[in-house]
């Protein structure tokens, strides 16, 4: 994915948000939204960023619907388990270090945000490929077992992309 | 009937927001207060969405979007300022 | 019929939210509180907004609610992460619950 394709993608997303907010899909509204989106992207890339980040990450669009469905399922499962822990009250919060095999920085960001979004775990810090995770029910401090229990299938799905 | 249910739901939401205000007042650390501030922001957002659904006015949802974004920016800046001990 | 299903889903979301508030007052450790409260809040937000979407059906209103949902899913982990990171880097210790 090169720079121009990336900019076109951003323009399309801005246009979609504009059309949702304006609620009347006419050609005039679409033209105004498209020109505003192009102006915003041009301003952002020329004036604000000075082309500092020349690296554009590669994304696989096909895995994302599956990933989001799996994420929603995991959020509900972990939420119900957390309600059980609130009622019984036996919790052992602690901090564990885990390691990931992903190399792309964007995918590590997705993985960390998914860990934070799932109830019961919060990512605190990242250094390279090591993540520091605060865990509600800390059963083991071993790096591999804890990583297996926290990351689950998220990492496997992301590694395919 | 639908009017009744949404009114009751909004009252329950307001009561839960007041319960979080109690934690803001008695919270021992400053991070407790920040956390409950975030909880109150999201509850007010839900309240606005339910009110917009009750009265069928979709322009009220813009208020909800603005509220979420303002709460996000304020929490991020306050937490960063505490972490750096007042120096931004 | 559609409205009744939406109301039931909103009721389930309120139940999740009530358990989150119970968790805030039950634990005495800050880390346990933030783990419990913010996360139950995510689930409750998803459930209540899904209930509103089911109640309204396919319209411009639902599309805007979906936009709010996407924004909230993007920024909610950031808020939780930055509060916990601020507490951890300021030297707040993880204690066992007493």
The ranges assigned to domains in chain A are: 3-48, 61-160
Q: Mean pLDDT per segment of 10 residues, for chain A of length 161 residues?
A: 76 89 86 90 75 60 81 85 82 78 77 81 80 75 70 72 62
Entry field: residues in chain A: 161
Within 13 Å, how many C-alpha atoms sit on residue C35's CB side? 31
pLDDT on residue B81: 87
Chain B residues with beta carbon closer than 8 angstroms to that of C83: 31, 34-35, 38, 75, 79
* Structure-block tokens of residue B9: 């739901």
Phi, psi of A96 (to 5 degrees): -125, 155
Within 13 Å, how many C-alpha atoms sit on residue C45's CB side? 32
pLDDT on residue A35: 92
User: Residues of C near B (CB-CB distance < 8 A)?
Assistant: 3, 7, 10-11, 14, 17-18, 20-21, 24-25, 30, 33-34, 37-38, 41, 44-45, 48-49, 52, 55-56, 60-61, 64-65, 67-68, 71-72, 75-76, 78-79, 82-83, 85-87, 89-90, 92
Nearest residue of C to residue A120, measured between CA atoms: C35
C87 vs C30: CA distance, rounded Å = 9
Q: Report percent pLDDT > 90 for chain C.
A: 0
Q: Assign A140 to helix, strand or coil.
A: coil
Residues B41-85: pLDDT tens digits?
Answer: 888 888 998 888 888 888 888 888 888 899 889 988 888 888 887
C26 vs C29: CA distance, rounded Å = 9
The ranges assigned to domains in chain B are: 2-83
The ipTM (two decimal places) reads 0.84
By the 8 A CB rule, do A98 and A130 touch?
A: yes
Chain B residues with beta carbon closer than 8 angstroms to that of C45: 42, 45-46
- Interface probe for C, chosen from A16, A29, A81, A93 (most Cβ of C below 10 Å), is A93
């Amino acid at each position: 994915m090169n720079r121009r394709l990336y900019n076109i993608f951003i323009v399309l997303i801005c246009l979609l948000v504009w059309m949702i907010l304006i609620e009347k899909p006419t050609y005039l509204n679409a033209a105004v939204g498209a020109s505003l989106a192009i102006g915003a992207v041009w301003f952002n890339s020329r004036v604000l960023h000075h082309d500092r980040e020349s690296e554009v990450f590669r994304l696989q669009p096909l895995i994302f619907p599956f990933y989001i469905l799996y994420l929603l399922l995991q959020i509900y499962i972990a939420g119900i388990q957390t309600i059980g822990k609130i009622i019984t009250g036996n919790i052992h919060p602690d901090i564990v270090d885990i390691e990931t095999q992903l190399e792309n920085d964007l995918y590590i960001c997705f993985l960390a945000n998914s860990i934070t979004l799932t109830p019961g775990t919060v990512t605190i810090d990242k250094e390279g490929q090591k993540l520091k995770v605060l865990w509600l029910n800390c059963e083991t401090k071993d790096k591999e077992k804890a990583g297996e229990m926290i990351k689950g299938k998220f990492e496997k799905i992301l590694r395919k992309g | 009937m639908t009017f009744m249910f949404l009114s009751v739901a909004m009252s329950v939401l307001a009561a839960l927001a007041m319960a979080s205000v109690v934690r803001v007042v008695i919270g021992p650390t400053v991070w407790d207060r920040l956390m409950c501030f975030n909880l109150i922001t999201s509850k007010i957002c839900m309240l606005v969405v339910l009110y917009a659904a009750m009265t069928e006015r979709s322009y009220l949802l813009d208020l909800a979007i603005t509220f979420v974004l303002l709460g996000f920016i304020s929490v991020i800046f306050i937490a960063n300022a505490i972490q750096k001990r007042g120096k931004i | 019929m559609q409205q009744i299903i939406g109301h039931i889903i909103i009721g389930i979301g309120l139940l999740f939210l009530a358990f989150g508030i119970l968790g805030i007052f039950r634990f005495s450790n800050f880390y346990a509180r933030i783990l419990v409260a913010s996360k139950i809040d995510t689930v409750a937000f998803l459930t209540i907004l899904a209930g509103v979407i089911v109640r309204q059906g396919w319209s411009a209103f639902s599309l805007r609610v979906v936009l709010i949902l996407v924004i909230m899913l993007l920024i909610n982990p950031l808020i939780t992460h930055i509060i916990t990171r601020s507490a951890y880097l300021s030297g707040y210790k993880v204690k066992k619950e007493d």
